[in-house]
Copies of this chain bind each other. A is one copy, B any other.
Amino acid sequence: MQLTVKQIAEMIQGTIIGDEAVVIRGISGIKEAKEGDLTFIANRKYLSLLKNTKASAIIVSRDIKNTSNSPLIQVDNPSLAFGRVMSYVGPEEIRFTPGIHPTAIIGENVALGKDVSVQPYAVIEDYAAIGDRCIIGTGVYIGHYTTIESDCLIYPHVIIRERIRIGNHVIIHPCTVIGGDGFGFATVKGVHHKIPQIGTVEIGNDVEIGSSVTIDRARFGRTLIGNGVKIDNLVQIAHNVSIGDNTIVVAQVGISGSTTIGQNVVIAGQAGIIGHVAVGDNVIIGGKAGVTKDIPDNTHVTGFPAREKWEDMRFQAYLRKQPEMIERIKNLEERIEELEEMLREMNGNAENH
C-alpha cells in the first residue's frame, strides 16, 4: 500500500486539513498507529489521543479541529470512510472455488441459481432453492424446501432446517442454527408433551447473523427477521418472535417466544426479553437489561426490571443515598431523645413549680 493523503481523501470525499502530499503505507487503530499509518476517530472518547498519535493521517468527522501534527481528513462518517479505505488496502479477499464441489450432496429437485458455489461436504436437501451467486460453505446443511435468494454468504457448518425462507444479500456466520424447533411443551401431570412446531423462519434482505446464533422456527406461522437486521454471536431468538427492519441485536441477547421487536431498535449485550411483549420502534435496551413488559416507541430502558434510563439512574442515585439517610436518621433519633429529655425536665419543673 502506498497512497497520498490526497488520493485517500478523494476516495472518501474528504476535506484535508494539513499536508495533502503525506504518504500513507499502512492502517491501524489510533493507539497502535506508527509513522506512515492512516488511522481514524469515530468514538469521541478517543479525541484526546489526537494530539500525540504517531499516525501520519487521521480520518475524523467534519466538526473536528486539528490538535495533531499530522493532516486530518474530515468526512461525514469516519467509520464508514475508514471501512472503504480498508476494503481497498486490506488483505486480498478469500475466493471460494466456484461451482459445486464433487463431495457436496445435492438432493432431488433442488434449484441452483447462476454462479452458485457449494463447498465440500455441504448437503442440500430435496426441493431447496439457492439463488444466484450464493456461496454455501463447507459442511453447511440446508433442509428440504428451504429457499435462499441471491448473493448470500453462508459460512461453514451453518444449519438451516426445512421450509425456511432467506432473502438477498444475507450473511450467516459459522455454526448458526436456523429453524430448530421452538421450545414448547404441554404439561399434563408433570410430564411435558412436545407441541409440534410446524411454522417457519423468514429472514429478510441484507441481514447479517453471527456465529452460534439460534433462531427457532414458529409453532405455526413464522419467526420473522426484518430487512437490514444485524445479529451478533450467541443470540437466542425463540419461536414466533418478530424483529423489525434495521434492528441491532448484540451478543448473548435472548428474546423469548412471541415477542415483537420494532424497527431500528438496539438491544445491547446479554439483555433478555420475556415472551409475549411488544418493544416499540427506535427503542434502546441497555446491556444486561431484563425487559418484563411492553416498551413504547423511542424509549431508552436499562436495568432489571427494565425501566426508562433516567428513571433507573434516579432510582440508583436514591439508593446510593442510603448510608447518608441512615446517618441522618441516627442524628434525628439523638436530637429527639434530647428534646424528649428536656421536655420531661421542663414538665418536672413545671409540676414542681
Contact = CB atoms under 8 A, between A and B. Distances in A.
Interface in A172-192: 173-175, 177, 180-181, 183-186, 188, 190-192
Given A121-B139, A156-B141, A236-B234, A196 B86 contact: yes
A221 to B, nearest CB: 6
A210 B180 contact: yes
Given A210-B183, A248-B185, A342-B343, A272 B254 contact: no
A333 B192 CA distance: 55
Contacts of A83: 186, 193-196
Interface stretch (A13-21, A50-58, A109-117, A315-323): A315-323
B322 A43 contact: no
A252 B252 contact: yes
Contacts of A258: 29
A181 B120 CA distance: 22
Given A159-B175, A246-B190, A230 B183 contact: yes
A141 B27 CA distance: 29
A269 B256 contact: yes
B328 A86 contact: no
Contacts of A184: 79
Contacts of A310: none
A155 B123 CA distance: 13
A251 B233 contact: no
Given A175-B159, A339-B336, A86 B138 contact: no
A157 B183 contact: no
A162 interface: yes
A100 interface: no
A183 B28 contact: no
A50 B221 CA distance: 19
A246 B188 CA distance: 11
A221 B32 contact: yes
Contacts of A143: 94
Interface of A: 27-29, 32, 42-43, 45, 76-77, 79-80, 82-83, 86-87, 90-91, 94, 103, 105, 119-121, 123, 125, 137-139, 141, 143-144, 155-157, 159, 161-163, 171, 173-175, 177, 180-181, 183-186, 188, 190-196, 198, 208, 210-212, 214, 216, 219-221, 228, 230, 232-234, 236, 238, 240, 246, 248, 250-252, 254, 256, 258, 264, 269-270, 272, 274, 276, 287-288, 290, 304, 315, 318-323, 325-326, 328-329, 332-333, 335-336, 339-340, 342-343, 346-347, 349-350
12 contacts: A77-B188, A82-B195, A90-B198, A123-B139, A139-B139, A157-B157, A183-B210, A288-B304, A319-B319, A325-B326, A336-B336, A339-B343
